[in-house]
Amino acid sequence: MKRKILVTDDEMPVVRIIKTNLELEGFQVVTAFNGEEALSQVQTEKPDLVILDVMMPKMDGWEVLARLKGDPATEDLPVVMLTALSQIEDMDRGARLGNDCYLTKPFDPTELISMVRRLLVAVEEQELY
């Protein structure tokens, strides 16, 4: 069964690059273009992992992350923050809110795929024990 990834970013070219690379690696990809849509997609699509931008309309990625990690139904859902925010304070904020990985733009798609694979393997190993 293909693992499902939710890609959330308000920049269509970024979403397209990530989606294409993930699909080439055999993942099923669903998308969202703002924070509210991301939360809705998590509820309806039940992704195995979320890739989340910070600076988005309607609801930023920080709020989405806080809501996901604050909800018992989604608190264990792996989240990769993918953002142009590269300050230590931003990385620390992501860690405090519970992100699993933090990657800054511009990014290497190969590195992102590697992070996704590592997180999904870690989740599978936890489910075994």
In the chain, domain spans: 4-128
- Name residues whose C-beta falls within 8 Å of residue 105's C-beta, 6 or more positions apart in sequence: 14, 82, 83, 84
- Name residues whose C-beta falls within 8 Å of residue 39's C-beta, 6 or more positions apart in sequence: 59, 64, 67, 68
Instruction: Note down pLDDT in tens along the chain; length 129 residues.
Output: 789 999 999 999 999 999 999 999 999 999 999 999 999 999 999 999 999 999 999 999 999 999 999 999 999 999 999 988 778 888 888 888 888 888 888 889 999 999 999 999 988 887 665
What homologous superfamily is domain 4-128 in, according to CATH? Response regulator (3.40.50.2300)
Q: Residues 30, 45: contact at Cβ < 8 Å?
A: yes
